[in-house]
Structures are given as C-alpha cells and as structure tokens.
Chains A and B, each alone.
Chain A
Amino acid sequence: MAETTGNKFVIAVYVENKFGVLTRVTSMFTRRGFNIDSLTVGVTESPEYSRITITMSGDGYARAQMLNQLRKLFNVKKVELLEEVDAIERELVLVKIKNDPDKHQRVLAALDIFKAKIINYSVEALCIEVTGTPDKIDALIEMIRPLGIIELCRTGIVALQKGGGSILEQPDIN
C-alpha cells in the first residue's frame, strides 16, 4: 500500500469522454494501492473530454506516483495538481433531516449561517442544499447532526485553478 497519511491534495484530470475511461482511472488506483477521499466526474467545456477531480491524502512519494501513473494512461489528456492556495474548491451536499416543528428555529439559524436553503419540504422531512468548501460542509453537517439527519449525500470536490488560464495550456512535465 502506498502511504496514505500526509497532506490532502486535489488532482484535476482531463480524460477522453469515452466508454470505460473512468474504470481505467479507478483500476489504476486499486492496482497501485492509492486511497481516494473523493472523486467527481463530468463533461467539460469541450464535449470530447470529461474532467475528473480527485482528492486524496499522501506524502510526496504518493503524490508524484499518482500524477505519473495517471499521465501514463492512454485516454488521459492532462493531469494537474491543484495547489490549495491556487485553487477554488467547492462541494455540494443534500441533507435530509426530520421535520420537527420544535426545532425549526435551530434549523433556520443553521441554514442562515451556512447560506443553505430548503429545497424540499414535507411533513416528515426537510431537504437542505448547501454549497461550499469541504470544511464548510463538514461544519454544517456537525451543526445539524443533533437535529436528526435521515440521510445525506455529498458530491465530492470540484475544483478550478484561480486566474485566467486553463490547465490544458500548461506544459507537460517530464
């Protein structure tokens, strides 16, 4: 197993938008013993590519290996490490909590602090949506946990580099 302790980092991967490519990427993680904290995937500005955003923890060795092994995959177009200071990271969470009228005040206070909104209201439950950095999402979840979470679903991180450039324009490292 590769070392999985150490710093958390985010990797953006442009892959060909083709059948089975995500499997190729995830198969490599298993084969090399990498542990993934989160993974998101979706089409990009150009329909022939998908963008995969991976967060994982590891030391410098694990990080270098991960980048190199990703770059070797045939359907992978571009791999970039997104340094935290240079990147904008967002995650979305949907949380379903019990609709308990006695606790409405506490719910609304929490929603206000985190700029969250109720997107579905029923007699039994409230569904809350919030977007933010992973830290903010963690904090929200901890705050509303005592109110009775029925279930929740996080998207995992999506991230872009700050500034005007695209990672596709950056030179390959060799």
Chain B
Amino acid sequence: MKLTGAQIVVETLIELGVTDVFGYPGGQVLNLYDAIYEAGDRLHHILTAHEQGASHAADGYSRATGKVGVVIATSGPGATNLVTGIATAMLDSVPMVAITGNVPQDLIGRDSFQEIDITGITLPITKHNYFIHDVNKLADKIREAFRIAKSGRPGPVLIDIPKDIQTAVGEYEPKPVDPPFPQHIPSDEKIAQAAALIDSKSRPFIHIGGGVIGSQTEELVLELADKIDAVIGCSLMGLSGIPTDHPRFLGMQGMHGHYASSVASNDADLIIAIGTRFSDRATGNKAKFAQHAKIIHIDADFAEISKNITANVGITGDIAVALRKLIDSVHEANHMDWMDHIEDLRDKEASFLMDPPGVLTPLKVMETINKYKTAYTPVATDVGQHQMWAAQYIRFQKPRKMVSSGGLGTMGFGLGAAIGAAVGTGEHTVLITGDGSFGMNLNELATAVTYHVPVTIVLIDNKTLGMVRQWQTLFFNHHYADTNLDVRRTDFVKLAEAFGAVGVLAQTPEEFEAAFEKAMASDEVTVIDCLIDKDEFVLPMLPPGGAIDDIITVKKEV
C-alpha cells in the first residue's frame, strides 16, 4: 500500500511490536508526529520534559523489559540532546532505536536551521546508524535497525529521517518480524578446553555481567555453578541476574564491590567470566587482577575476548549454547576447602558492617526499600554514592530489576529510566537518587506526574556530591572543590509539590519507613527527601589503580 514516510515509520514500529515510544516533537518531525496522532491508541507516545529524559526512558524501558526501547526527537538540538542517552545505552549494551528528523535533503549541508549531522555525531556511540535517502527503503531500514539493536551484543541504533522522506509517498507492505541474526555456535574444541580447565581447578569463581541477563542464561549459570561447586560474583550490570540471597552469590565485585566477592575473585584459581567485559571498575588494577587464576571468558562479542583481561580460553557467540555444552562437558565437583574459605570471607565481610542505631543511614534506607518492594519492583538509580549503596544493599529476586547506568556512569539517568521501567513493566518503580544526580534531570517529574507513572523517588540527600567528596576526602586533602550543595537552597518537598507530586521529608528511620510504605501503596509520584550525613562513605573501596591488598573496608577518622 502507498503511505507517506511518516506513516511508514509508525506502521513499521507497530509491525515490530512497539507499543510505547518516548519523545519530543519539533519542526522536522511534525509529519511523524501527525502520523503518531493518526495512529491513535495503536502507538502510545510519552512526551517528556527534555529529549535526554526521553532517551533515558527508552533505555530504562528496554533494561526493565528486554524489549527494544524507542525514542523520537527532532533535528538539531533535539537530536544532540539524545547523545548522552544513546552513549549510556551503548556502554551498557542496551537495545534502543533512536529516530530523529532532519532538514529536507535539499537543505542538507547548508547549515540550515536546526540542521545537524547526527549520524556523524553518533557514529562512535551507536552500534550502527542510518541516514535515510529513499522512502521505499525506509521500512526495511527500520526493521534492520531493530534487528541490529537486539542481535548478539545489543546496542543502540539511530535512524535519521529527513523531512522530505517523511512527506514522500512510498510502498509499504507489512512483514513478519525477523528473528535476531544467528549467533556463532561455540566449537566443541573450545568447550572441551574450557571443561578440562574447569575440571583441573579447585577454586572456581563465576563472574557475570549484563550479558547473562541479556541472554536470559541466569538459570544456566546457576546450574553450572552447582555442578562445579563455584561461587558467583558480578559486575554492576550483572546485578539482579542472580537472586541476592542465593547461597552461591557473593554480590558485586570491584571498586565498591562486596568484600567477600572481591577477595574471592582474587583468591580463585579459575575465573569464568560470562557476558562481561572486565571493566576497570570491576577489576581494579588489571595487572594485579586474579593473578593466580586462569580465565575462561564467554561473551556474545568476540572483540571482548582478551580486550581488557587476557583469556586462557575465549568462547564467543551464543552464551546459552556455550553454557549448555559446558555444563554437559564438565565433571561434577565438590570443593570443601574453597567453600570453607568463602564462609570465612562472608563472616569477615559481616564484621565490617557498622550502622549506628537511630540515625537515618544509607543502609537503613536500602533495608526499608527491601522490606516494601516486591520481587518484581524495578529499582532504578542515578550515579554516585547512592548507586553503590543500592548495588550493595538492595536485594533482588528477579532479573532486569536493577536499572542503572554502569559503563557511562550518567548522572541524571535515573528519573527518565525509572519512568521508562515503570511504563514498560506496569510495576510501581523505585528510583534511588542523590541530590546531585536528581538536580540534573528533575524536570522529568512533570512527565511522571502527567502520565500517572507510579514512581517513588528516594532522594539520598547529603547536600554534597558525595562520591566526589569521598575522593576529595581520601585523595585530595579534604579540598571540597565545588562539591558542597548545601549552598543550594532547593526545597525538594516544595519542588515535588510544585510539579504536582507528593513531597515528604525524612530525617529519621521511622519517618522514612512511614513515608516509603505510604508512597509504595499509592500511585502518586512521591519524592522522599532523606537527609543523611555528608561524610557517609561507600565501603569497601578498592582505590583507583589499586589491587585487592589496598582495599579500604572501614572508615578511619576523616
């Protein structure tokens, strides 16, 4: 049938199973928005306060559901406002499709009003991108973009559609949705090498990343761990992949990882890394990382093998197939000494935990969240100390419940992402944020209120850029250069109310619990301003460039 380019975009999105899109209209996407208007209930568009918020919402939608998140923006500033969101998705391998308008092709290259080369700008931060020259290829390019976004190691794809393509009439015929591109099937030889290595070792440690959640191989990881008697740690992106309370799970490793997890990975004689890229935040000093261990690295992306940490055996391609074959190839094992050692580490870790009674602390906030959230509650975070406290103390039961910017570390990610997660899952979502991060994109409160998105915002308010302050305390002689936020006079309760949300101040554990319980039972957007001490530290801490011996576990007088 004959449709305009704008209508083709909408019909193709619907054909691909898209139900919700986030975006912001503007001059060069007027035709596209007219087609969205015509589509009525078939495609739900959520208008954000800023394109960056829309990009994080599409990202959070995808992280929480596994579906491809979609964001739409106009040309020029609309497109450039997506850049941080696209880069965030790229660094964390999130499948996302960004659609931008551009000026008509006869105005391209003339610095026309709101013209920008967004395919050029996003080249290094997309898995792939397109500039559409032909309306008759538009539908297939959108289909291909979705396929690329979700295949193998996922990632964001951008499609730039000049206005004349949106108005041109082209041919559109619906097609069945293509499956993802077939992945490489790991060879039996590689599996045999890995199995032999596993069988020869007695202190196995499985390190998982976001790739385990993306490939839905959590159960296989547990099956492998049970068979070879291994413990499991994870990167930030791997959180929620394994239930926090699982007896084999030690928690996140790395710079602010759990003590037992970081030390165990250092003491292991074998590390099986699955769906992870050995980020510097997860390994600390690479030269000193797991020096006694052989490394088996399993990843969908062959370029990750030996990129950061040299692998003794690298297995690339389909993680599910690799794990199935590996489980069938290894011998069952029991490593009593290793498990005893792990128990000692867990005991030692428990001894570091100090929490003054009666005072509202990050730990108490997180424990209260654990008490009232369900296994299905998505927990989004921003970036900073609060994010690490959430990573350390929030207890997850189901995958895709931790929605957090890992690789790029994007302050301002959280509120948009929480909105996306809540829209995608239909679940009341918790955002854990800080006063610094929240200040960056709090405008999206308007979006949450407008669309009645059930989000409870726990604002860990220490009146400082806490993570930077922690570094200034430890490494910069207490020079608190531009990190004090107590000079700001923002009243977060009034601010929430001004946006039409509920605002509550919590200064004690009791106040917080009462406010949080009420907020979770309500569908109103609530901001709970939790006042905590500005010198709370995230511990343990592996100092930058440090190795396991340098780990800081207890806060000294500062």
Interface residue ranges, A against B (CB under 8 Å): 19-20, 23-24, 27-28, 30-31, 61, 64-65, 68-69, 71-72, 74, 174
CB distance from A78 to the nearest CB of B (A): 15
For B131, list chain A residues within 8 Å (CB).
19-20
The answer to the question of B307 belonging to the interface, with a C-beta cut-off of 8 Å to chain A, is yes
- Enumerate 30 A-B pairs (CB-CB under 8 Å) in ascending A order: A19-B131, A20-B131, A23-B120, A23-B123, A24-B123, A27-B123, A27-B124, A28-B124, A30-B124, A31-B124, A61-B306, A64-B306, A65-B303, A65-B307, A68-B302, A68-B303, A68-B305, A68-B307, A69-B303, A71-B303, A72-B301, A72-B302, A72-B303, A74-B127, A74-B128, A74-B148, A174-B184, A174-B302, A174-B316, A174-B317
B residues 279-329 with Cβ under 8 Å of A? 301-303, 305-307, 316-317
Chain A minimum-CB-distance residue to B125: A31
Complex Cα gap A31–B502 (Å)? 45
| A68-B303, A69-B303, A71-B303 given; A20·B119 CB < 8 A | yes
| Bound Cα distance A65, B305 (Å) | 9
- Residues of B near A69 (CB, < 8 A) are 303
* Residues of the B chain whose Cβ atoms lie less than 8 Å from the Cβ of A64: 306
Considering only residues 105-152 of chain B, those with a C-beta below 8 Å from chain A are: 119-120, 123-124, 127-128, 131, 133, 148
A68-B302, A68-B303, A174-B302 are known; give 6 further A-B pairs, CB within 8 A: A23-B120, A23-B123, A69-B303, A71-B302, A71-B303, A72-B303
Number of cross-chain contacts by CB at 8 Å: 33
Complex: chain B residue closest to A28, CB-CB: B124
Cα distance A97–B124 in the bound complex, in angstroms: 42
Which residue of chain B has its CB nearest to the CB of A173?
B302
A31 and B302 CA atoms in complex are apart in Å by 18
Residues of B within 8 A of A20 (CB): 119, 131
3 closest residue pairs by CB, A with B: A68-B303, A74-B128, A31-B124
Residues on the A chain within 8 Å of B119, using CB:
20
Interface size on B, residues (CB 8 A): 18
* CA gap between A5 and B184 in the complex, in Å: 33
Report chain B residues within 8 Å CB of A65. 303, 307
Chain B residues with CB under 8 A of A174: 184, 302, 316-317
B123, B316, B317: residue with the most chain A Cβ atoms closer than 10 Å: B123
Please name all residues of chain B whose beta carbon is closer than 8 Å to the beta carbon of A72 when the two chains form the complex.
301-303
- Provide the bound-state CA to CA distance between A19 and B123, in Å: 13
- How far is B400's CA from A151's CA once the two chains are assembled, in angstroms? 61
Residues on the A chain within 8 Å of B128, using CB: 74
| Residues of the A chain whose Cβ atoms lie less than 8 Å from the Cβ of B317 | 174
For A71, list chain B residues within 8 Å (CB). 302-303
Q: At the interface, is chain A mostly helix, strand, loop or mixed?
A: helix
* Complex-state Cα separation, A30 to B302, whole angstroms: 20
Residues of A within 8 A of B127 (CB): 74
List residues of chain B with CB under 8 Å of any chain A CB.
119-120, 123-124, 127-128, 131, 133, 148, 184, 301-303, 305-307, 316-317
- Nearest A residue to B314, CB-CB: A174
A74–B316 CA distance with the chains assembled, in angstroms: 18
Nearest CB of A to B393, in Å:
36
- What A residues does B303 contact at CB under 8 A? 65, 68-69, 71-72
Chain A residue at smallest Cβ distance from B306: A64
For the complex, give the distance between the alpha carbons of A65 and B184 in Å. Answer: 19
CA distance A174 to B316 in the complex (A): 7
Closest Cβ neighbor of B127 among chain A residues = A74
Chain B nearest CB, measured from A55 CB (Å): 21
In the complex, the chain A residue whose C-beta lies closest to that of B148 is A74
CA distance A74 to B152 in the complex (A): 12
Q: Closest B-chain residue to A67, C-beta based?
A: B303
Taking the closest CB of chain A, its distance from the CB of B303, in whole angstroms, is: 4
Q: Closest B residue to A27 by CB, please name it.
A: B123
Give Cα A174 to B305, complex, Å: 10
Q: In the complex, A74 Cα to B181 Cα: how many Å?
A: 12
Find chain A residues with CB under 8 A from B307 CB: 65, 68
> Chain B nearest CB: distance from A67 CB in Å?
9
Q: How far is the CB of A174 from chain B (nearest CB, A)?
A: 5
CB distance from B161 to the nearest CB of A (A): 15
A19, B317: Cα distance in complex, Å: 30
Minimum CB–CB distance for A115 against chain B, Å: 42
Tell me the bound Cα distance from A30 to B133 in angstroms: 27
Most buried by A among B128, B148, B303, B305: B303
Complex CA distance for A68 and B153, rounded to whole angstroms = 14
Output the nearest chain A residue to B317 by Cβ-Cβ distance.
A174
- Which residue of chain B has the shortest Cβ distance to A60 in the bound complex? B306
Chain B nearest Cβ from A26, distance in angstroms? 10
> Nearest Cβ in chain A — how far from B115, in angstroms?
17
Nearest CB to that of A74 among chain B residues?
Answer: B128
A65's nearest neighbour on chain B, judged by CB, is B307
Residues in chain A near residue B301, CB distance under 8 A: 72
> What is the minimal beta-carbon distance from B120 to any residue of chain A, in angstroms?
7
Q: Which of A20, A31, A61 has the most CB of B within 10 A?
A: A20
| Min CB gap A82→B, angstroms | 20
Give A71 to B301 CA distance when docked, in angstroms. 11
Distance (whole angstroms) from the CB of A96 to the closest CB of chain B? 33
Which chain B residues border A31 with CB–CB below 8 Å? 124
A74 and B124 alpha carbons, distance in the complex (Å): 13
Q: How far is the CB of A60 from chain B (nearest CB, A)?
A: 10
Residue in A closest to B303 when the chains form the complex, CB atoms? A68
Q: Nearest Cβ in chain B — how far from A41, in angstroms?
A: 17
The answer for the CA separation of A24 and B120 in the assembled complex, in Å, is 9
A35 → chain B closest CB, angstroms: 17
Nearest chain-B residue to A69 (Cβ)?
B303
In whole Å, how far is A101's beta carbon from the nearest beta carbon of chain B? 49
**How far is it, in angstroms, between the C-alpha of A74 and the C-alpha of B119 when the chains are bound?**
14
In the complex, what distance in Å separates the CA atom of A68 from the CA atom of B128? 16
**Inter-chain contacts of B184 with A (CB < 8 A):** 174
Hey, which chain B residues are within 8 Å of A27, CB to CB? 123-124
Q: How far is the CB of A3 from chain B (nearest CB, A)?
A: 13
Contacts of B133 in A (CB 8 A): 19
Question: A residues within 8 A CB of B306?
Answer: 61, 64
Minimal beta-carbon separation of A30 from chain B (angstroms)? 8
The residue of chain A having its C-beta at the shortest distance from the C-beta of B186 within the complex is A174
